[in-house]
Structure 1
Amino acid sequence: MIDAGHGGNDPGAVYGSVYEKVIAFDIAARLASTLSNTYGYNARMTRSNDVYLSLAQRVELTKSYKGSAFVSIHNNSSTNTSYHGHEVLVPTGESYTTNPYISASRSLGAAINRELGVRIPTIRNRGVKYQNVYVVGKNSVPSTLVEYGFISNSNDRSHLTSTTYRQRMADATASGIHQFMSTYK
């Protein structure tokens, strides 16, 4: 399951005319295509257009489609424009988390983070972060959330608005997912 963050009346992070929901959808569509065409997975997206879905609906779609892994696509933002880089969020072991696949989620996140770091060294690697995020912590399959960069940072934004870099982000993420799926039983 590929989850393009935000959508509809929820734009996510905004910087001028740059909207997170648009970038997230584009990366998600590229990722789903790469997973299907390069690796042969039946990649499904939580949304196929610019619509709003609640966090619970995103988790429920994973169950109804019988997904085997879940990756949510996002961009970061900060009032401090010097913050930059990609990071991958995985579930904590705290009581908030009901996802039974904490360890597998962490492995999935680590594989994606590693591939992003290797394939796109021009974006700072902020690492894997343990954070209580609904779509990760409340899911029923190995799950992670990828923040591809800060929309508020000029260097990251130039990558996020480049179709070439968005394809590289999708390809790196697909490679990480494939590495995880190849070893996950």
Structure 2
Amino acid sequence: MKGITLLAVSVFSTAFLSFTPLNKKYIIIDAGHGGSDAGAVYGQFSEKDISLNIAKEIHKINKSQDKYEVILTRDADISSSLPDRTILINNLNPEMVISLHVNKSPEKETPKHGFEVFIQNSEGSKKLADKISKKFSAQTIVERNLHILRETKAPAVLVELGFINNTQDRNYMTSEKGQKEIAQKFVEIINEY
């Protein structure tokens, strides 16, 4: 079954790329988790839904831009393995990859809050992380050996959009206003890159 999935991704990527202009520039937005993998959960809220909603909003806002085309690794609540995602990403050879996630703090009384950005050791990733950090006042930029960062050939960052168990972060990330504001800031970063 796994071989069939990888074959399908390869065929899709090859067919997709053969019908697009060679000078087209892509930005990949990876909505973390999906399907049976909910990620961080708090009450009725899940990481997979928050990351997908914001990814779709980035895609929607960016449609009016000519500079880049935003491609989502998933646009529905489906499971997609990390190797499948990185194969798709590397086949498209994007300008950058932004993987969206939601954090959860073990502290119950005063949970952590705010954005965190994770990178692999590359200049392109550091440059992108710096832009994200400034735009969102991210508290930390940390080098991590994460699959999506390690296996992606393009500059890539993994962004924790806030802490699901922090009331202020959760209310902002799950509100329509908050999701639109977050998405708009990412589109600005993409277009300044």
TM-score, normalized by length of structure 1? 0.84
Residue 36 of structure 2 is matched in structure 1 by: 9
Alignment of 1:11-160 (within 5 A): 11-38=38-65, 40-81=67-108, 82-92=111-121, 102-117=122-137, 125-160=138-173
Residue 97 of structure 1 is matched in structure 2 by: none
CA contact (8 A) 1:39 1:178 kept: no
User: Relative contact order (C-alpha < 8 Å, sep 6+): which is higher?
Assistant: 1
Poorly superposed stretches of 4+, deviation over 6 Å: none
- Residue 177 of structure 1 pairs with residue 168 of structure 2: no
Alignment of 1:159-170 (within 5 A): 159-170=172-183
**AA aligned opposite 2:124:** A
**AA aligned opposite 1:104:** G
**AA aligned opposite 1:116:** F
Query: How far did residue 24 of structure 1 move?
Result: 0.3
Q: How far apart, in 1, do the equivalents of 2:98 and 2:141 lie?
A: 14
Unaligned runs of 5+ in 2: 1-27
Q: How far apart, in 2, do the equivalents of 1:21 and 1:32 lie?
A: 17
Residue 122 of structure 1 is matched in structure 2 by: none
Q: Against the structure 1 CA distance between its residues 39 and 162, is the aligned structure 2 distance closer, same or farther, given a 3 Å change threshold?
A: farther
Aligned residues: 164
Structure with greater Cα Rg: 2
CA contact (8 A) 1:5 1:72 kept: yes
TM-score, normalized by length of structure 2? 0.80
Unaligned runs of 5+ in 1: 93-101, 118-124, 181-185
SS of the residue aligned with 2:71?
coil
Query: How far did residue 39 of structure 1 move?
Result: 5.4
**How big is each residue's C-alpha offset from its partner over 1:53-92, in whole Å with a ceiling of 9 and x where there is no partner?**
1111111111222322111011100221421111111114
Residue 121 of structure 1 is matched in structure 2 by: none
RMSD across aligned positions (CA): 1.4
**How big is each residue's C-alpha offset from its partner over 1:98-118, in whole Å with a ceiling of 9 and x where there is no partner?**
xxxx1101101111221122x
Residue 22 of structure 2 is matched in structure 1 by: none
**AA aligned opposite 1:127:** T
Q: How far apart, in 2, do the equivalents of 1:68 and 1:23 lie?
A: 24
Q: How far apart, in 2, do the equivalents of 1:85 and 1:111 lie?
A: 16
